Structures are given as C-alpha cells and as structure tokens.
Amino acid sequence: MKIGANAMTELLTAAQMRAIEEAAIASGEVTGLELMERAGRGVVEAIFEEWPELARAPHRAVVLCGPGNNGGDGFVVARHLKEWGWEVEVFLYGDPEKLPPDARVNYERWLALGEVAALATLAEQVDCRHTVGYDVIVDALFGTGLRRSLPDEAAGVLCDVFRTYLDGRMVSVDVPSGLCADSGRPLVPSGYRKGDWPALDGLIGEASLTVTFHRAKLGHMLDVGPRHSKRVVVKGIGIPEKFCRSGKFISVRRATAVIGLGKRLEAFKYTHGHALILSGGGGKGGAARLAAQGCLRIGAGLVTLGCPPEALAENAARLDAVMVRPLADADALARVLEDRRINALCLGPGLGTGAREVALVAAALGCRAEARPTGGTGRHGVGRASARLVLDADALTILAREPDLFAALSERCVLTPHAGEFARLFPDLAEKLEAPAIKGPAYSKVDATREAAKRAGCVVLYKGPDTVIADPRGQCSINSAHYDRSAPWLATAGSGDVLAGFIAGLLARGFAPMQAAETAAWLHVDCALKFGPGLIAEDLPEQLPAVFRDLGL
C-alpha cells in the first residue's frame, strides 16, 4: 500500500509499533522470526513492484545491516535477492555475536549463501559509482529503533554511500537511517551547531523507496521525513488487527464528513449558517475577501464581510454574493453579534493590529477591552459572544501580545498559525522544535501542536506541508501534502486566508471545530491538486465545485 490519498490513515510511533509486535508474539499467533521473514520478503516485493525490470533478470545489490532487528530484516532481503539469482554483498555494522536472537538466526541463514563484511570495508569500495556498480542499495542499518545520532563509523560510510548514490536506487527499511521515526527529524550528535545542519541533512539517505510495515510511521509525514523517505510503501506482515485496537493513534485525515458537505433538498440559506469575516481598512481588504470567497464556496449559507466604513465602497465593488456592511468598532461588532443567526466569525486576514483591532478580537471572544494609549488593552470582562471563531494572521499577533485575550480562548475557537505565528504564540514550544534532536524519540510537531492546543484550550491547526491539527483533549491528525498529495503551489500569498475562510464556512455549517479544521485542510490541498502549477489564492475556492463532484456530492 502506497502512502497517499487512499492509504490507510493510522500512523504509529516506534513505541506503538513495538507494542503491537510484542503483543502479537506474546499471543502465540505469530513468532518474531515469522514477522522478520515477512518484512524482508515485503521489501523485495516492493523493489520489484517499484522497478519491474529488476525482477526480469539478475542484478547486483548491496545490503547494509545494522546491529538490531532492522539488520535482521536486511539479512532476509539479501537471502531472497540471492535466491532470485542476484549478486548480493552484505555489510554489517556491529558485532554479530551481539545480534538479537531473531536477527542472529537470519545472519546465520545468510552465511550459508554468502559472506558478511564489516561495514567499514565498504568505504574502500566507494570511489565512484561506475566502479561499484550496484543496482540497488538496501539501508537496513537502524530503522525505527534508532535512539541517538548515527555512530561515527556508520555515519562516515553512509555519508560516502549516500553522496555516491544520490540519484540511485536506494531502499530504506522502515525509515532512512539517521531519521527519528517519531518526528521526521535528523538525530544529531551533541554539540552540533545550527550551522552544521546542511551537512548533517545530507548525511541521511534520501531513499528512492522506503518500505515500512503494518502502518506508516509519524516520521514519514513530519519535518524532513517525507523528503528523505521519498516514496513510502506499507507492507503487511500478518499482524492481526485485534492487536491494534488499543492506544491513541495519529491519523492522516481526509475529508471526514463528506455527507455533511452536501446540502439537503429542503434546506435554505440560513440552514447552512451565516459567517462574518472582518476586514482591515482601505486597501487592506484583499485577504478578508479571499477568506469570504472561500467561506461562501465551501457552503456557508450567507457570508458578510464587515469593514471600516471608509473601506465599504472598495469591498462592495469587488464582491457580489458576499454581503458587505460597515463595522466601525467593537461596539458595532457587538451589536451585529446580537443576531444569533451569525454563528461563525473569521478574524485576522488583513485585519491590522492596532487598538481598534484588539478591541474587535476582544468583542469576538466575548470580552470588553478598555483601550490604552499604547494600543494594548486593560481588563477584560466576559460577554455573551457564542459564535465559533477562526483566528488567523493579525488576530494571532494580537493574541500573542495580549495574555488576557489568549486566556479568553475556548473550545469554540480555531487558531491557524504558520511557523512564525506559532513561535510568537508559543515561543517555548517553538524553541524545543528548533533545538537539534539529540536523541529519540525527538520532540515533534505533533507534540508541539498537542501542547499548544491544551494550553490554548482550543483547536490549533499548525500550518505547513505537514499540517498538524490538535484539540485540547489530545485528539490529533496530520494533513500531509506529501508524496502523491504534494502541493507546493500552495506556497503563494493568500492561500492561508482561503483556508481560514474554508474553516469558517464549515463552522457556520455546523461542523465541530476539530472536524472543520481537518476537513478544510484536506479540501485545501485537494483544490491545489485539482488546479496544479500556476495556482494563485483566488483559484482555490473556484476548484471546490470540481472537488465536491469528485467526492460524489
């Protein structure tokens, strides 16, 4: 099974995978040797599926085996390729006498077919690619079991091999060696400085194919994991599903409520909610207009853009189906929110960060802010606002500098920070993510987003190609724009504003905040994939009708 739009959604940490394997073995339904045999056979199957020409005639492979069970998988790979008629060389890092029992058995089985050389001797052969002439290099050195940076000896050899075979067929077993399976981050030696990272990043193999077992791992989806894993194939190894029913798993989410995206025949516009998008002043309304268009396209029954009176004409000239009304200040917003049919708000895109905007955020949160000359706020009192909120862009900047407003966040809110905004809101969590990962399991974007959501008391959608979404109770999912869902065209001005509008529209339609964030993030990527290269933010809402048709709506 290849990782992508229709792949199995659960992701596992290394510890969860070990627990599942141990439970299956303890039950007596399968042995560790059987799991290892199936894993190695699965790697060979994946190689032949990826490059069918390699199955038609013998070729040459080198298999790099490590000191643990990942190395045991490598010995099985070597044996199956040898039995296929291939010329296979095997190199081992570590003492064969210290191999785990199952890996030791497969080491001895391989010795009946060929030799095992010390990994250090491989460096003598890696002078240039044409003299070595391997058709496939199998990296079975460390896999998910890595807990620290690569040992110097292994790192030096891998560095030479990876540089020599940068464009070759490199196959990693479970995860590329040197990568943390839980965070997708490189595990680095202590004392590494940030300036050393480019060289370190090149040390981890950029596998042409990564073959993992039972479920994909978090590191395949996070940070630099997708770049180094390149293409991930999940192979079953015969673990019964009953051993996978306990534990809190992270998932790769697709549109989770396709039925809810449709509209009933007997419905009318207010059935699907009324969203209010707040805009900045004259010449600064583009971001809010993008959000409003996204909100309307995703199915909100009505959308109103509220703006300062001087920007009314500008916005009215650019919008038709979206209504426009003047909102001079927080008092005006409070009066508008007395209309309980307005059930979703989006604040932040192009809003501004002055005293007026601080007061608007306070009013949306149900607080009353006393403006100070500095542009900050005084004491806040809780009001009666009840609409669900998307807080993006400038609203996040306001929350970062106004602790009273941050404290007023609730489960009806969704925060949508990119990395810079996340660092302003949660500087300590961002610092932990920035610090070099010295040992595994390394602190991950999943860890950071979960902590942020718990601290904020609301859903946090931490944007990026590896978007992570979490709620205060620890529920978490990843919206990965990698592999066959890679959408680099989303790196364009205004795409985040459209995403905020998508979420606001789903909130207006009655989606719960977590569900709205997950579904909007998935559809956001789908829209980018539908349009393709040349995408600009204005194109995203216009792709929704075609995306909905593909979903069968």
- What b/e readout covers 492-505, taking b as 16+ CB neighbours within 10 angstroms? bebbbbbbbbbbbb
pLDDT at 86 over 90: yes
Chain mean pLDDT for the chain: 87
pLDDT of residue 175: 93
pLDDT of residue 376: 42
Could you tell me what percent of the chain has a pLDDT over 90?
Answer: 70
pLDDT at 34 over 80: yes
Domains of the chain and CATH, by start: 10-252 (3.40.50.10260), 269-433+440-550 (3.40.1190.20)
Q: What number of CA atoms fall less than 13 Å from residue 165's CA on the CB side?
A: 29
pTM for the complete prediction? 0.90
Residues 225, 440 contacting (CB under 8 angstroms): no
Phi-psi region of 348 (alpha: psi -120 to 50; beta: other; left: phi over 0): left
pLDDT of residue 503: 98
Characterize the bridge pairing of strands 367-368 and 381-382.
antiparallel
Amino acid at 420: G
For the stretch 401-447, pLDDT in tens is: 999 999 999 999 999 999 999 999 999 999 999 988 888 899 999 99
Length of the chain: 553
For the stretch 131-175, pLDDT in tens is: 457 899 999 998 887 777 777 666 667 666 766 665 678 999 999
Of the two residues 129 and 58, the one the predictor is more confident about is 58
Contacts of 267 (CB under 8 A, 6+ apart): none
For the stretch 347-364, pLDDT in tens is: 999 999 999 999 999 999
CA dihedral 371, 374, 379, 385 (to 10 degrees): 50
Mean pLDDT of 461-467: 96
pLDDT of residue 130: 42
Could you tell me what percent of the chain has a pLDDT over 70?
Answer: 83
How is residue 152 written in tokens? 């110097």
pLDDT of residue 188: 78
pLDDT of residue 525: 96
The H or E element containing residue 211 is: strand 209-213
Mean pLDDT of 513-529: 95
Residues 382, 410 contacting (CB under 8 angstroms): no
pLDDT at 272 over 90: no
Q: Strand, coil or helix: what is 83?
A: helix
pLDDT at 324 over 90: yes
For the stretch 187-243, pLDDT in tens is: 877 665 555 544 455 457 678 999 999 999 999 999 999 999 989 999 999 998 887
pLDDT of residue 494: 96
pLDDT of residue 131: 41
The H or E element containing residue 323 is: strand 323-326
Tell whether the torsion through CA atoms of 311, 313, 318 and 319 is positive or negative. positive
Q: What number of CA atoms fall less than 13 Å from residue 304's CA on the CB side?
A: 20
pLDDT at 246 over 80: no
The H or E element containing residue 306 is: strand 302-307
Structure confidence at residue 22 as a pLDDT band (50, 70, 90): very high
